[in-house]
Amino acid sequence: MPLPGMSQTQASATENGLDAPPPNPATQTGLNPGTPLGSLVPPVQSNQIPPAMLTGIMQEGQQMSQTLDAFAQAMPDLAQDCAVVKESLLQLLSKVLMAGSGPTSPTAPGPNFPGGGVDRGGAPPLAPLGGQGT
């Protein structure tokens, strides 16, 4: 039954769905609510992050760190909590940076470069002066 001043159409719209909570935007855009960013960004292992994505992650991490500093200044009683979150963020970013900073070309030595030389089976040790070997 419509309220006074409402038409029958307005009353039926109110009864049929406007009183319900709004729909989840993730389901309307095709995103899976359980997956961050849905299918917009495919999952990548941290050691396979493309350089452009790594740069973007580091820039956003810097912005998040600055935001945490601003929160700590705005709420001095929670500054310690902000510091803990910031430290955790910096640890995460350092792991991402280390994992994503592999060789930049197929011939680059990378972090596990075996080196060479005397200790690695390179040239034989030099004979002592005087011509006699050991």
Question: With contact defined as beta carbons under 8 Å apart, do 15 and 9 qualify?
Answer: no
| Domain boundaries along the sequence of the chain | 47-53+61-100
Question: With contact defined as beta carbons under 8 Å apart, do 42 and 48 qualify?
Answer: no
Q: Which range, 50-59, 75-84, 115-124, has the best average confidence (pLDDT)?
A: 75-84
Residue 131, both tokens? 């011509």
| 37-56: average pLDDT | 76
Which residues make Cβ contacts (< 8 Å) with residue 120, sequence separation at least 6?
114
pLDDT tens readout for residues 50-69: 888 888 889 999 999 999 99
What's the chain's average pLDDT? 73
d(CA 44, CA 46): 6
Q: Which range, 46-55, 74-83, 93-102, 114-123, has the best average confidence (pLDDT)?
A: 74-83
d(CA 80, CA 45): 32
Question: With contact defined as beta carbons under 8 Å apart, do 32 and 43 qualify?
Answer: no
Question: With contact defined as beta carbons under 8 Å apart, do 71 and 78 qualify?
Answer: yes
Given this model, what pLDDT does residue 112 score? 60
